[in-house]
Amino acid sequence: MITRDELAALYVRTGQLVLGRCRLILRDAAEAEDVLHEVFVRVMRYGDTVQHAQIPLSWLYRIAERCCFDRFNKRKHQGLSLDESIHWQDTEPDPDRAAEARAMLELYFARLDPRMQKLALLHYVDGLTQERIAEQLGWSRRTVGKKLTKLKKWAEKLRRKGQS
């Protein structure tokens, strides 16, 4: 079990980074704060796992992403569209990528399984190359390319279906 001092030290070292990750995914500062607290509650509950994690920040990011994905799924089950429940930032680094990321998230992010959510997050939000995504997910670069193509085709199909 993780001690309070270890938890506090972990929070001081990584809290702002985890919060930034949550803000990037959720696009809502208040909700990101809630998720940050949720992450560290989970760390308190399952803290012995962090002691075995080779890179605690990566482990915390996975917890944060899972909590964010859970929020998206909860919204879907409550009948809220992502458009209604996410407050998009006005300024983003790459407007074209940001617009594409918004469209992907709004259309179907919550409908994806966790591995495909991670793929979409790494590609559309983080802007990683296929090679980096392959490293992160343990897939080949070719598999990443195929899955991104499949993801884009599915998104286009949903867009056309929504417009008819």
Quote the pTM value: 0.59
| Minimum mean pLDDT range among 37-46, 83-92, 99-108, 127-136 | 83-92
Question: For residues 83 and 43, which has the higher predicted lDDT (pLDDT)?
Answer: 43
Would you kindly state where each structural domain of the chain is located, as residue ranges? 1-85, 88-164
Sole residue written with tokens 């407050």:
87
Per residue in 39-53, pLDDT tens? Answer: 999 888 877 666 566
Work out the burial of residue 49: count CB atoms within 10 Å of its CB; fewer than 13 is exposed, 13-18 middle, 19 or more buried: middle
Give the mean pLDDT of 27-40: 91
Give the model's pLDDT for residue 86: 38
In the CATH hierarchy, which top-level class contains the domain 88-164?
mainly alpha
| Minimum mean pLDDT range among 43-57, 76-90, 138-152 | 76-90
Q: CATH number of the domain at 1-85, out of 3.40.50.720, 3.40.50.11540, 1.10.287.370, 1.10.1740.10?
A: 1.10.1740.10
Task: Tell me, yes or no, if the two domains 1-85 and 88-164 fold the same way.
Answer: no
